[in-house]
Structure 1
Amino acid sequence: MSAAREYGLDDQYEWPRPPEGGWTADDLDRLPNLPPHTELIDGSLVFMSPQLKFHTRTMWLLEYALLSHMPEGLDVDREMTVKLDDKNRPEPDILVYRADADTGVEQSWYKPEDVILVIEVVSEDSRERDREVKPGKYAAAGIPHFWRVEKSYGLPVVYVYEIDPATRVYTPTGIYHDHLKVSVPFPIDIDLTAVGGRRSV
């Protein structure tokens, strides 16, 4: 299968040619016919591969649980980009943000100062980005909380990080198998074994 067909495009599709100096964050809203969930990392377009059911089910589980525990004044979205700077506009799998940052149904990105938590569910083709590149950029932009989710024996394992405000580097605060219970950014209690819909959150 051709790369174009993998992203739902016909074989005559012409991939965008980067301008000198690379793409900018605003280009994501102007370029026509980009594959779904295209990110911008260091001025380069990054295309997502089709996701496995584990990825989708894990996002559903975490989104539902976050909504169930979320205090007033916050909200959650899936697969919305964050404009970190002019050359970086990654798309976390899930993000929690200040509800007053919602500008309506035409919105396509958030400012990092409005984001409280970003979550990346690691996929085969995104390991380096999700484990190293994107967390470093999220922390440098001042996003206070980051969760990385890995698959282990068919279940999610959640690695939880909190930013050190003095260094703007994430510090690990826990690794959660089967059950995640944390008090920040707000009290959250999640049965991770419910990822397949086997039991309630």
Structure 2
Amino acid sequence: MSVDPQYHWPIPPEGGWTADDLDTLPNLPPHTELIDGSLVFVSPQTRFHLRAVGFFEWQLRSLAPEGLEVLREFTIDIDRRNRPEPDVIVIPDEDDLDLDQTRVPAQTVQLAIEVVSAESVDRDRETKPLKYARAKIPHYWRVENSGGRAVVYVFELEPTTGVYVATGIFHDRLKVSVPFPIDLDLDDITAKRGRPQ
């Protein structure tokens, strides 16, 4: 990979970048996140990541009750220095929805899903769950590739302590009652696709 000698990497201001900067900085790669005032660029997606994100987006859209919306790869405002982009989120479907908005407030998010990549392991297992819990996002799912099969780690916010507690580890089938009834065959994520005859 060659680097354009004319390209100048953005130099962070004193104190780091802010959530508003993501909308105004020129030439940022798609899906750039802000974590602790630093810009985080994503690496190329694996096939597993692409399939898992598409699977959860499509399945949750088909199962979500009226009044909820499912968004893929959309940033959330946690605070001035944190604007992560979960792979999938579930939010209220507001009547006065602004179709030009580029982010949603974290306090509106009902469920955040992260599909772990090799470069995002620490963020998805440690950094983001802490931030999502502090932002009071009630449900967090972490999806991992375990030997070519999806494993989903499900967490729920414990209201007294304000931290996530594990409510299940799902290997073949994900069945939960919150944030709404969901019953999914996880093998569909990595199943070999049939070819048209």
Q: Same fold by TM-score, threshold 0.5 exceeded?
A: yes
User: Deviations for 1:101-132, whole angstroms, at most 9, x for unmatched residues?
Assistant: 87333211110111000000000000000000
Query: SS in structure 1 opposite 2:94?
Result: helix
Kindly indicate whether the alpha-carbon contact (under 8 Å) linking 2:77 and 2:83 is maintained by their aligned counterparts in 1. Answer: yes
1:7 corresponds to: none
- Are 1:48 and 2:48 matched, yes or no? no
Q: 1:101 to 1:141 in 2, by over 3 A?
A: farther
**Paired amino acid for 1:50:** P
Query: SS in structure 1 opposite 2:13?
Result: coil
Give the Å deviation of 1:31.
0.4
**Paired amino acid for 1:52:** T
Give the Å deviation of 1:90.
0.4
Q: 1:103 to 1:13 in 2, by over 3 A?
A: farther
- Are 1:15 and 2:21 matched, yes or no? no
1:123 corresponds to: 117
Match of 1:69 among 38, 42, 63: 63
Does 172-181 or 103-112 show the bigger shift?
103-112
- Are 1:29 and 2:20 matched, yes or no? no
Match of 1:103 among 93, 97, 105: 97
**Paired amino acid for 1:85:** D
**Paired amino acid for 1:195:** I
User: Deviations for 1:66-93, whole angstroms, at most 9, x for unmatched residues?
Assistant: 1111001001011000110000000000
2:138 corresponds to: 144
CA distance in 2, matches of 1:123, 1:146: 16
Kindly indicate whether the alpha-carbon contact (under 8 Å) linking 2:77 and 2:103 is maintained by their aligned counterparts in 1. Answer: yes
Query: SS in structure 2 opposite 1:100?
Result: coil
Give the Å deviation of 1:13.
1.7
Q: How many residue pairs align between the two structures?
A: 194
Q: How do 1:76-87 residues align onto structure 2 when only pairs under 5 Å count?
A: 76-87=70-81
CA distance in 2, matches of 1:124, 1:106: 32
Gaps of 5+ in 1: 5-9
Pairwise CA RMSD: 1.6
- Are 1:190 and 2:184 matched, yes or no? yes
Q: 1:102 to 1:31 in 2, by over 3 A?
A: farther
Kindly indicate whether the alpha-carbon contact (under 8 Å) linking 1:25 and 1:83 is maintained by their aligned counterparts in 2. Answer: yes
- Are 1:88 and 2:79 matched, yes or no? no
Identity percentage over the alignment? 61
CA distance in 1, matches of 2:96, 2:85: 16
Match of 1:157 among 131, 140, 151: 151
